[in-house]
Amino acid sequence: MPNRNLLIVDDEQNIVKSLHRQLRKKEYNIFTAYSGKEGLDIIKQHDIGVVMSDQMMPEMSGIQFLEQVKKKKPDIIRLILTGYASIENTIDAINRSHIFGFLSKPWSFEGLNATLTRAFEHFDLLAENKRLHILTDQQNQQLKIINTNLDSLVKERTSQLEDAINEGIIVLALAAEAKDDDTGQHVNRIRRMSEDVCLRYGLPAAKAEEIGIASIMHDVGKIHVPDKILKKRGPLTEKEWRIMKYHTIAGEKILGTRPFYKTAREIARSHHERWDGAGYPDGLKGKKIPFAARIVSIADVYDALTHARVYKPAWPKEKAIAEIKTLSEKAFDPNLLELFLSIMEK
Ligand SMILES: [Fe+2]
């Protein structure tokens, strides 16, 4: 139900009565007051939509009263009733006080109706506007909450998905690993050493972890190499060696094309490249070899030397360190090797 509460304020009882009578058959709930003070009491107690006040009243003029109304209840639509002769004098005050309209005495019945209809329509419009503003604000708040929730849900799901894909590939990497290292610990050591070098190099922890995880997959391509070649005790034939070298390219292929595995693919393909360009499969030289692959290649060789394989016993740490030192600038990036040795010798 729209608000149709109308307050009439006039110190002259006859005027109030006359207005009341004329509006009797209209839809308004009429409140009446005989002074500004009384009018203010009524707007305090009732939800008034439109106030129509006489201008010429003792103590508080109509304009003064309506200014108080505006201050206390700005949503109420304000009308002034003024003698025709004093309109000129009042017009400035009307404009200053943001009064919606005025009715001059004596008024016509049609004029009164039209003024009140417009006033209540304006009141409805402002009320609807306010309601829509509040609704929009609430909806914006809700949208914000939904967005925040959605954002964290997407992040959570993405990370779950990445974990799941990671786990799949890691299982495959471990399966490949199991073909020539029964303990399955080789890849874990490579991961730790690679991460340590990354951190010592100054990479952020998240980047170091990413390279560490990617390093686990460096030999995933060995899944393609037959056991009889992987575990052969004697030297490999040329054909066997070709198959063996292919594990780098096979690994890169297994790791697909997703951006997520870019680092893992670089490591898989290039961890047998050498600083001097004599490695495989591409013969890359120096810094042309991807950074992560340069790190993994050091960790891979060191770990192979210090642990037993079917074709060789484990070397003591000191002997392995001495051996890889001789390979600085031949097989390994000298700066990264220095970092690696500073960690190992500690
Ligand atoms: Fe390898």
Q: What is the DSSP string of 204-238?
A: -HHHHHHHHHHHTTTTGGGGGS-HHHHT-SSPPPH
More confident residue, 98 or 86: 98
Give yes or no: residues 190 and 249 share one domain: yes
What is the tens place of the pLDDT at every residue in 159-170? 888 888 778 878
Mention every residue, 6+ apart, whose C-beta is less than 8 A from residue 158: none
CA of 272 to the centre of ligand 1 (A): 6
**From the CA of 300, how far away is ligand 1's center (Å)?**
8
The residues that are catalytic are 222
215 and 97 within one domain: no
Ligand 1 centroid to Cα of residue 245, in Å, is 8
Query: For position 232, what pLDDT does the model report?
Result: 85
Greater confidence (87 vs 107) lies with 107
More confident residue, 77 or 181: 77
Q: Note whether 88 and 222 are same-domain residues.
A: no
Q: What is the pLDDT of residues 6-32, one digit of tens each?
A: 999 999 999 999 999 999 888 999 999
Any idea of the CA torsion for 12, 101, 121, 57, to the nearest 10 degrees? Answer: -20
Ramachandran class of 158: left when φ > 0, alpha when ψ lies in -120 to 50, beta otherwise: alpha
Residues 220, 334: one domain? yes
Which CATH number do you get for residue 205? 1.10.3210.10
Q: What is the mean pLDDT of residues 284-295?
A: 97
| Mean pLDDT on 121-145 | 94
Any idea what DSSP says for residue 300? H
The Å distance, Cα 129 to ligand 1 centre, comes to 71
Contact status, residue 302 vs residue 344, Cβ threshold 8 Å: yes
**CA 71–ligand 1 middle distance (angstroms):** 82
Two tokens, residue 312: 């060789």
Strands of 174-318 (E only): list them: none
pLDDT (average), residues 238-249: 95
Contact 250, 223 (CB under 8 A): yes
Domain that holds residue 105: 5-133
| Whether the predicted pLDDT of 65 surpasses 60 | yes
